[in-house]
A and B are shown apart, each in its own frame.
Chain A
């Protein structure tokens, strides 16, 4: 009996304790809010001072207070000498913007999850890479994770804003506001099919013969080649990943391939469907299943890895790869990633889509204490060719060299820094042209962008806010199943279970919401 009372007493004590802490925490939170207010006020003052002299950014550095900008980005990291390169970058940034970048390079495989946690916990950071395929743009906008950039763009990044076509910016708008800063590059997207040149030559495979012809129905075009190579090289496999081939299908996904909701390119009525329930996607899954049964996938080895990486290509385990985005000079990139000469072709006909445009962007965090400075940094990265290439290729004459014709070639120490993600840092068109690419590669790319057929949905961006909970759940379902689907181990029964789980997670509600928004958008367009 006595013990009983004592326990309750302690219990009450604990309860009071917890209550006190909650209150204390609450107070802290409020303090933070106050700080936010201060920040807003502070935000306006440098704005006005910058207004007075937007001309030379170099001279502006003197007046700017010193700040640190935290920048999260994905890529083939860590690189052995990344700290050395980042230090060099910071020297320039310090001089020009009086800022220091706190670099947070994260490996591709970890980036998505890392950002979810960083954003969810409300940690302060300034810049992050965002897109429709990693660190999902529309979902983050829906959760209020990013700042609207319209004013900041006009004020602090006029040059790079002007460099990107206006309809591109429109594609990033959610409810009329821009939340993503576009890293200008190839936007008319279709996946790239690539294979080692030595293999293609040996087995008489002309990659151009299939160029632009691939879809779920025509995957069998690749089969004779795969079968022939497989016979002599059992260690080599067919490689692809669902998140990278969304543009190969004849539909356009609305909030990323992992979220149900897509519209067929040729559908003028803009009817939203669940892409996983389309015959086309099912067909694709069936082909993968078939190929796995035929042993083309080396599933047994690959299932225990989250994703395939180019290290396996270097180890001679890749036969043919569909992924990334086809672009002029892409084979040169594949060559340096794969360690031997690669040939490549576009998988299907490229369309200019919202997805293609928002595939590479940066966003400024809601928690950023210096959003205007973050925008200045974006402007600098997208206008300063030398700085960009330092970040991109490393230190000149060490990690890379420029040859007599001005082409970028490998330096003596290229292995120590070669992340191979120019489109991730900033506008790809600032990059030194790599040897082997045509001199006019960037002009060609822009032409390709302009020539591509715009999709019916171009300019529409989905506001995911009303269905963000459903999105979280469906993407978790996708995460559980996608690897099995792309490796062809998902049986038909299992696939139906996947569809059922998506439904349970609210797929229909999301599709209805998408349809509603698209209909409203269509009405305004007319």
Chain B
């Protein structure tokens, strides 16, 4: 009798698992097809592709494709740009988001809060193409800022001056994402139990002390996760930002070319899929290594905050 129940229990357990697996199946298939199968294609990076023979029969060339990339003068530029921009994005972006989340947390009126959130979220709603139009309307040949400069007697052509673009791109990227990330942190702050603050208030702590001693420490896991996720993507860039906003102007490549746009242009301009795959693989591997390493570091400092 007891055994039968146990069996039945086991059976239902089994059935439950199966049903749950079924629920997850569509997503599993989608991920398998669009993420895992392409991983199998990384072998292209080691081939000298010839269309006559097809990709599978083309000769293996070992690390030639990688060599080609690393000996070119572009390698340094694109890696530097990618990492440089991302480090600034992560540092400045995270800092500002936390500050804005804290500021938003000080707003008591729900209506006002909603108004701010709505405004901050506007940029997030525009595609990069529309952002490119907006940028053009400020710094383009008829642009508003160009016009102001002209009124001041300065003839400044944004699309030929390289030095201005790092500033523009950093500004635009943070402008677009700040609303979104600050709300993630804001939601995190809301998740902190009020009891802590009440207790602190009784002890006579002021606003700043509460932020330093309660909010920030309790927000730390979220900050770490967000940062780790960004670091995992440190070898990737927002393609739209670097592709559309500087309008594919060759003159600006030294400061706007990142790995993603480079791979894309490699594919489209020289049709070299071996090398294009090689750079893609390098990017993926480096990203993976960096995130494993930083996760390891985080784990050593505080087991709780790790990503996995």
Q: Tell me if B268 and A144 are in contact (CB < 8 A).
A: no
- Mark A101-139 against chain B: 1 for CB-CB distance below 8 A, else 0: 000000000001110110111100000000000000000
Chain B residue with Cβ nearest A25: B40
Complex Cα spacing A462 to B243, Å: 34
> B52 to A113, Cβ gap below 8 A?
no
B54: contacting residue among A21, A33, A481, A490, CB under 8 A: A33
B36 touches A116 (CB 8 A): no
Given contacts A144-B50, A490-B251, 8 further A-B contacts (CB under 8 A): A25-B37, A117-B267, A120-B49, A472-B266, A472-B269, A476-B269, A482-B250, A489-B251
Contact segment of A67-75, A295-303, A338-346: A295-303
Q: Which of B54, B248, B249 contacts A122 (CB 8 A)?
A: B54
What 10 A-B pairs have minimum CB-CB distances, sorted nearest first? Answer: A144-B52, A472-B270, A116-B271, A113-B268, A29-B56, A480-B250, A21-B40, A301-B141, A22-B40, A472-B272
Say whether B250 contacts A299, CB under 8 Å: no
Interface positions, chain B 124-144, Cβ under 8 Å from A, are 136, 140-141
**Min CB–CB distance A139 → chain B (angstroms):** 8
Decide yes or no whether B265 CB sits under 8 A from chain A: yes
Cβ-defined contact, B250 with A26, below 8 A: no
- Say yes or no for B68: interface residue by CB 8 A criterion: yes
Q: Which residues of B contact A117 (CB under 8 A)?
A: 267-268, 271
A480 touches B72 (CB 8 A): no
Residue numbers in B under 8 Å from A303 (CB-CB): 157, 159-160, 249, 251
A230 at the interface (CB under 8 A from B): no
Contact with B along A264-300 (1 / 0, CB 8 A): 0000000000000000000000000000000000011
A26 to B54, CA, bound (A): 11
What distance in Å separates the Cβ of A409 from its nearest Cβ neighbour in chain B?
38
A467: min CB distance to chain B, Å: 12
Binding site for B on A (CB under 8 A): 7, 17-18, 21-22, 25-26, 29-30, 32-33, 112-114, 116-117, 119-122, 143-145, 299-301, 303-304, 306, 366-367, 469, 471-473, 475-476, 479-484, 489-490, 501, 504-505
Q: Hey, which chain A residues are within 8 Å of B250, CB to CB?
A: 479-484
Known pairs A116-B267, A304-B136, A480-B253; A18 contacts B40 (CB<8 A): yes
Chain B's closest residue to A366 (CB) is B51
Instruction: Say yes or no: A483 contacts B269, CB within 8 Å.
Output: no
State in angstroms the CA–CA spacing of A303 and B158 once bound together. 10
Q: A303-B159, A306-B248 are in contact. Are A120 and B267 (CB under 8 A)?
A: yes
- Picked from B136, B141, B247, B308, the residue with its CB within 8 Å of the CB of A300 is B141
**Number of B positions contacting A (CB below 8 A):** 41
Q: How far is the CA of A17 from the CA of B36 in the complex (A)?
A: 8
Q: Cα distance A26–B43 when bound, in Å?
A: 11
Among B84-103, those with CB < 8 Å from A are none
Compute how far the CA of A116 lies from the CA of B249 in the bound complex, rounded to whole angstroms: 20
Q: Interface readout for B14-40 with A: 1 if CB under 8 Å, 0 if not?
A: 000000000000000000000011011
User: In the complex, which residues of chain A have a beta carbon less than 8 angstroms from the beta carbon of B267?
Assistant: 116-117, 120
Minimum distance in angstroms from B15 CB to a CB of chain A: 24
Write the nearest CB–CB distance from B79 to chain A, whole angstroms. 16
The answer to whether A473 touches B51 (Cβ under 8 A) is no
Q: A22-B43, A144-B52 are in contact. Are A113 and B269 (CB under 8 A)?
A: yes
Whether A30 pairs with B56 at a CB distance below 8 angstroms is yes
Residues of chain A with a CB closer than 8 A to B49's CB: 120
> Out of B55, B72, B269, which one reaches A116, CB within 8 Å?
B269
B5 proximal to A (CB < 8 A): no
CB contact under 8 A between A119 and B51, given known A113-B268, A473-B72: yes
Which has the most chain A C-beta neighbours within 10 Å: B54, B68, B248?
Answer: B54
- Enumerate chain B residues within 8 angstroms of A475, measured Cβ to Cβ: 269-270
State whether the Cβ of B73 lies closer than 8 Å to any Cβ in chain A: yes
A274–B40 CA distance with the chains assembled, in angstroms = 41
Q: Does B78 contact A (CB under 8 A)?
A: no
B275 within 8 A of A: yes
CB distance from B197 to the nearest CB of A (A): 35
Contact A29 B54 (CB under 8 A): yes
Q: Within 8 Å of chain A (Cβ to Cβ): is B53? A: yes
Contacts A119-B51, A144-B52, A483-B249 given; does A489 touch B269 at CB 8 Å: no
B273 contacts A by Cβ under 8 Å: yes
Query: Which chain B residue lies CB-closest to A29?
Result: B56
From residue B169, how far is it (CB to closest CB) to chain A in Å?
16
Among A144, A300, A301, A481, the residue within 8 A (CB) of B51 is A144
Known: A22-B40, A303-B249, A489-B251. A29 touches B55 (CB 8 A): yes
Give A306 to B68 CA distance when docked, in angstroms: 28
Chain B residues contacting A482 (CB-CB under 8 Å) are: 250
Cα of A490 to Cα of B141 in the assembled complex, Å = 19
Distance A82 CA – B272 CA, assembled complex (angstroms): 33
Whether B160 and A489, one on each chain, are in contact in the complex, defined by CB atoms closer than 8 angstroms, is yes
Residue of B nearest to A298 (CB): B141
Q: Are A483's CB and B251's CB within 8 A? A: yes
Interface residues of B in 142-180 (CB under 8 A from A): 157, 159-160
Interchain CA distance A471-B68 in the complex, whole Å: 13
Q: Which of A145, A304, A483, A484 contacts B140 (CB 8 A)?
A: A304
11 A-B pairs with CB atoms under 8 Å apart are A116-B271, A119-B271, A144-B52, A303-B159, A303-B160, A473-B68, A473-B272, A476-B270, A479-B250, A480-B250, A484-B160
Whether B37 lies near A472 (C-beta < 8 A) is: no
- Contact partners of A476 in chain B: CB under 8 A: 265-266, 269-270
- Whether B52 pairs with A366 at a CB distance below 8 angstroms is yes
- Give B33-73 as 1s and 0s: 1 = Cβ < 8 Å from A's Cβ atoms: 00011011101000001111111110000000000100011
**B222-279 interface (Cβ within 8 A of A):** 247-251, 253, 265-273, 275
**B280 CB to nearest A CB, Å:** 13
Q: In the complex, what distance in Å separates the CA atom of A393 from the CA atom of B26? A: 50
* Contacting residues, chain A, for B50 (C-beta < 8 A): 143-144
**Nearest Cβ distance between residue B62 and chain A, in whole angstroms?**
14
- Complex CA–CA separation, A33 to B50 (angstroms): 14
* Distance, CA A121 to CA B249, complexed state (A): 26
Docked Cα-Cα span, A112 to B271, in Å, equals 10
B72 touches A505 (CB 8 A): yes
Q: Which residues of A contact B270 (CB under 8 A)?
A: 116, 471-473, 475-476
If A113-B268, A299-B157 touch, does A501 touch B54 (CB 8 Å cutoff)?
A: no
B275 touches A472 (CB 8 A): yes
Residues of B within 8 A of A504 (CB): 72-73
Whether B56 and A26, one on each chain, are in contact in the complex, defined by CB atoms closer than 8 angstroms, is yes
Please measure, in the bound complex, the distance between the C-alpha atom of A117 and the C-alpha atom of B272, giving whole angstroms.
9
Tell which of A116, A367, A501, A504 has the most Cβ of chain B within 10 Å.
Answer: A116
Instruction: Considering the complex, give the chain A residue whose CB is closest to the CB of B52.
Output: A144
Indicate if the CB atoms of A145 and B37 lie closer than 8 Å.
no
Partner of A21, one of B36, B72, B248, B273: B36
Return chain B residues, CB-CB under 8 Å to A145.
51
B187 CB, nearest partner CB in chain A, Å: 28
CA distance A473 to B270 in the complex (A): 7
Report the nearest B residue to A32, measured CB to CB. Answer: B54
Q: From A143, which residue of chain B is reached at the shortest CB distance?
A: B51
CB distance B141 to A472 under 8 Å?
no
